[in-house]
A and B are shown apart, each in its own frame.
Chain A
Amino acid sequence: MLENDVLEIAGRKIRSRLFVGTGKYAGIQQMKDAFEAAGAQVVTVAVRRVNISDRSRESMLDAIDSSKYILLPNTAGCYTAEDAIRYARLAREAGLSHWVKLEVIGDERTLYPDNEALLEATRVLVKEGFVVLPYTSDDPVVARKLEDLGAAAVMPLGAPIGSGLGIQNPNNIRIIKEMARVPVIVDAGVGTASDAAVAMELGCDAVLMNTGIAGAQDPVRMAEAMGLAVKAGRLAYLAGRIPRKSYAAASSPTEGMLAK
C-alpha cells in the first residue's frame, strides 16, 4: 500500500520515512543490522577530528555502503551559527554531499536549539547551495521562518534529544505540518514504537531517531519495531482516522434484537 508513497526532499526521492543516526551502537555489525531491520535509507553522521595518534577507531563509517544509504552529516555539538557553518562546509568537503542536518544548540542540559543562530546559519548555508534540514524546537513560527529562508525540510523535536519522552506537544507538531510546504520530520525524543507512530499519524513526513534504537536493550529488534511503527503510522494517517467522540457508537445493528 505504500509502494508509491515516496518522500521527496529537494528533488530527491526517499523510500524510507525512518531516518536513523549512527551513534551509540555497540559495534559496526549491530549498527548495520539495525539499519537493515529498520529499512532505513537516510543515516546521519557527525563530523569530528581524525584521531591521528590512534587510528584503530578510524573506519567506523567505511562500513556504510554509500550506494545503499544516503549519508546526512550533522552539525551536532555546535553552539554558534559560525561553528555550525564551519562544520557543514567541512562535511560537504569530506563527503561530497551538500545535504546537512543543521543543529545549533543553545543549552547543554536540554540540547534545545538556539533558533536565532539556527535561522542565521540556515540563511548562510542555503545561499551557499546546501540542502538544509534544520533541527528546531516545536515552534510553528520558527518552522515557517526556516522554510521562508529556504530550508528543504523542517525537523521539530518531539522531546529533548535522547530523552525518549515521545511527542510532548502533538498539537504544535500538527500545526507545523499543516502550515509547512516542505517536509516535516520529527527529530529527537522518540522512545518507543508508539512514539514514532504518533509522529506519523500527525501527518509528519518522516521521523529521525538515534538513541531510541541504539539505546534499546535489543537495538536490532527495536529498529524493526520502529520501521513497522513508521509504516503503520503513515498508513493510518493516509487512511484517515475516525473522529474522536465522547460517547459510544455501537458497531453492531440495534435492529433485529430478540423480543424481551
Chain B
Amino acid sequence: MQITINGESKSVPDAVTVAELVRILDLKKERVAVEVNRNIVARREWDGVLLHPGDRLEIVHFVGGG
C-alpha cells in the first residue's frame, strides 16, 4: 500500500504497524517521534497502531539548532 512519509510517497507492506515501519526504515526508535495524520503516536502505542493506505506520516528527530 502507499502511504506518505515526510512528504514522500512510499510503498509499504499492507497493515503494517508504526513499530514495524520504524524497524523497516531502520530508524533509531529512541530518537524519533511519529505523527500519523497529525496525531502523535506515543512510542508505547507503536505496536498497536496499524497504518492504512493514504496515511500521512511525519517522522522527526533532533538536528543541530540554536
Are A and B genuine complex partners? yes
Residues of A at the B interface (CB closer than 8 Å) are: 21-25, 31, 44-53, 55, 58, 60-62, 71, 73-74, 76, 89-91, 93-95, 161-162, 188, 208-211
Given contacts A52-B8, A55-B26, contact A89 B62 (CB under 8 A): no
Contact of B66 with A47 in the complex, beta carbons under 8 Å: no
List 22 A–B pairs whose Cβ atoms lie within 8 Å, in order of A's numbering.
A21-B64, A21-B65, A21-B66, A45-B62, A46-B62, A47-B61, A49-B6, A49-B59, A50-B6, A60-B64, A61-B61, A73-B62, A89-B40, A90-B35, A90-B58, A93-B34, A94-B32, A94-B33, A95-B62, A162-B66, A188-B66, A211-B66
> Can you name the residue of chain A whose Cβ is closest to the Cβ of B35?
A90
Residue in contact with B33 in the complex, picked from A55, A60, A91, A161, CB distance below 8 Å: A91
B-chain residues with CB within 8 Å of residue A55 when the two chains form the complex: 26
Q: Which residue of B lies closest to A74 (CB)?
A: B65
B58 → chain A closest CB, angstroms: 7
Contacts of A61 in B (CB 8 A): 31, 61-64
Known: A50-B27, A161-B66, A209-B66. 8 other contacts (CB 8 A): A46-B64, A47-B62, A48-B61, A50-B25, A52-B25, A53-B8, A60-B63, A94-B31
Report whether B66 and A94 are in contact in the complex, using a CB–CB cutoff of 8 Å. Answer: no
Q: How far is the CA of A13 from the CA of B10 in the complex (A)?
A: 45
Closest 10 CB pairs of A and B: A46-B65, A210-B66, A21-B66, A93-B33, A94-B33, A45-B62, A22-B64, A23-B64, A49-B6, A90-B33
Which residue in A25, A49, A209, A210 is a CB contact (below 8 Å) of B60? A49
Given the complex of chains A and B, what is the CA–CA distance between A62 and B62 in angstroms? 9
Select which of A31, A62, A95 is within 8 A of B64 by beta carbon.
Answer: A31
CB distance from B12 to the nearest CB of A (A): 11
Known A48-B61, A93-B42; judge A74-B6 contact (CB<8 A): no
CA distance A45 to B32 in the complex (A): 13
Q: How far is the CA of A31 from the CA of B66 in the complex (A)?
A: 12
Q: Which residues of the other chain, B, contact A22 by a CB distance below 8 angstroms? A: 63-66
Interface centre among B28, B58, B61 (most CB of A within 10 A): B61
